[in-house]
Every structure is written in structure tokens, then in C-alpha cells.
Amino acid sequence: MSDESWLRTGIGASDADSITLMGRDLATELMGRVTFTEVAFLLVRGRTPSPQETRLLDAVLVSLADHGLTPTVLAARLTHTGAPESIQGAIAAGLLGAGSVFLGVVEDTARFLEELLEEAAPDGSEARLRQAAARAVGERLAAGRRIPGLGHPVHKVEDPRTPRIYAIAEETGQLGAHLRLLRLVGEVHRERAGRRLPINGAGVAGAALADLGFPVELLRGAALLARTAGLLGHLAEETRSPLGMPLYREIEERAVYEPPEAGDG
């Protein structure tokens, strides 16, 4: 117990008269002076963002806030059906499905790009990047594996979020290494595969967040911040026009009971 260095925190503290957040006085330096998006950046990066970084981060969070009645949204609304008094439980249930299948693309793409960037370093020239991209794409095509960040089940030609993020990143001077490399990966893939897969919105969000300096192991967390706003919208709708209970009733009516065979399993 002599070494208490593990019990240091830089996030928040308070005493009788003041509250401090990330080294700033909450009431006088942050409230009314920075937006919620800027505070989220501050919390993760340890400094406030430039207006250009804020603009890109806002666009990314807005792009990730909702994707309709996804499995995670359905899980949240069904949880609200059973425990409407515990809204924290409904939101938590709506986050828990953000794993390898849903939202994982955000993180997977950033991780994939990070590795290629390390491979191409210290040079990092366009040529080296293209070379690394070509190698990785080639290997994955040969192995029949997906390229993280490419392809979308609905937006088969173009994901509308992608050109928008690129436009905002360019306009704000925030087109960093990850976003540039992802575009290169898309080009290389098209050349190799002979067909065009769009860069998807989750992948481009992952690349943009990585360019904004969010650590890869937290990227899914940033996506979940965005998704929490979407869940609020769905839970507001659920209280106005319930979907969970009629969905359950319909499932119960339609479901066919087929007992397991003896010795099954």
C-alpha cells in the first residue's frame, strides 16, 4: 500500500467550492465554453480540439448515431419492455451487442490501417503505403477474406457517409494518414479484384477517429457514445409507440415449437 501511484486520476476531482475536469475548472472554463463533443475529445485525448477537429468529430459522431432497427436497438427496446423503470438497463442492453459483427468494423478497420501504417513506416511515402496496401489486399483476396472497411450489404455502390466524411476532412485539413490509406486500399482493391466495393461508413468513421488520435482500443467506445444518442431516440419512440411488446406477442404466436429429438445435442 506504500505505492499509491495507481490511485492517481487526471479525469475529475472536486472540493467544497469547485469541480475540476481534465485540469480545467468545470464551471468557469468548460460549461458554456466548450460543446459536449469538445469535452468528449478532451476526455479521451487530454486536450481540447481545434475547431477543425471538432467539426470532423461531430460529423463522425452524427454519422454513427443510428442505423435503424438493428439487433442492438431491438435488444434495448425489448429490455425496456420488461424493465421500463430501469432505463440504464435498456441502454446497457443496447450497447452490449456492439461486438465483432455490429460496430466492430469501426475498430477492425482502424486496426488494419494502423498495422499497414507501421509496416510502411518510417518512410510513410505514398509509394510505400500503396505497396503495403497492395500486399495486404492481395493476401486477403487470395485467402478469400474480407477487407476491413470495404463493402456494405445495402449501399452496394456508394455509402453516402463516405464522401461526406472525406469532404469534411479535406475541407478542415484533417485528412490524415488513416483516411488517406483507406482510400488507397479501396483503389488497390478495385484494381486487383476488378470490381468496386464502396468504402463503408463504419470503416471511414474508424479511420477518421484514428486520425483524430483516438486510441484503437477505444474506437468502439467512441462509436458507442454516438450510439447512446441513437438509443435515446429509440427509447423515446418506444415510450410513445411501443414495439417491444407487440414484437414479443407476434413472435410468440408465430413461433413453432419443435422439441429436441431424444439424445439431441
**Residues of this chain, 193-252, that bind a copy of itself according to CB under 8 A:** 201, 213, 215, 217-218, 220-222, 224-226, 228-237, 239, 241-248, 250-252
Contact call for residue 191 and a copy of itself (CB under 8 A): no
Contact call for residue 142 and a copy of itself (CB under 8 A): no
Contact call for residue 167 and a copy of itself (CB under 8 A): yes
For residue 20, list its beta bridge partners: 13, 25
Which DSSP string corresponds to 174-186? ---HHHHHHHHHH
Report d(CA 192, CA 136) in Å as an integer: 11
Nearest approach, Cβ of residue 231 and a copy of itself (Å): 8
What phi and psi, each to the nearest 5 degrees, are found at residue 86? Answer: -115, 75
Pattern 13-32, binding to a copy of itself, x per CB under 8 A?
Answer: xxxxxxxxxxx-xxxx-xxx
Per-residue HEC secondary structure of 85-133 comes to: CCHHHHHHHHHHCCCCCCCHHHHHHHHHHHHHHHHHCCCCCHHHHHHHH
Q: Is 260 left (phi over 0), alpha (psi -120 to 50) or beta?
A: beta
With contacts defined by CB under 8 A, how many residues of the chain interact with a copy of itself? Answer: 140
Nearest approach, Cβ of residue 109 and a copy of itself (Å): 16
Contact call for residue 138 and a copy of itself (CB under 8 A): no
Q: Which of residues 144-163 bind a copy of itself (CB under 8 A)?
A: 154-158, 160-161, 163
Q: Give 141 or 245: the residue with its C-beta nearer to a copy of itself.
A: 245
| Among 65, 134, 141, 197, interactor with a copy of itself by CB under 8 A | 65
Amino acid residing at 24:
R
Q: Give 121 or 239: the residue with its C-beta nearer to a copy of itself.
A: 239
Q: Is 209 left (phi over 0), alpha (psi -120 to 50) or beta?
A: alpha
Going from the C-alpha of 209 to that of each of 47, 58, 110, 194, the distances in angstroms are 15, 11, 8, 29
Q: Give 123 or 250: the residue with its C-beta nearer to a copy of itself.
A: 250
Q: Which of residues 31-50 bind a copy of itself (CB under 8 A)?
A: 31-32, 34-37, 39-40, 42-47
Stretch of 65-73, 117-125, 126-134, 184-192 contacting a copy of itself, by CB under 8 A:
65-73
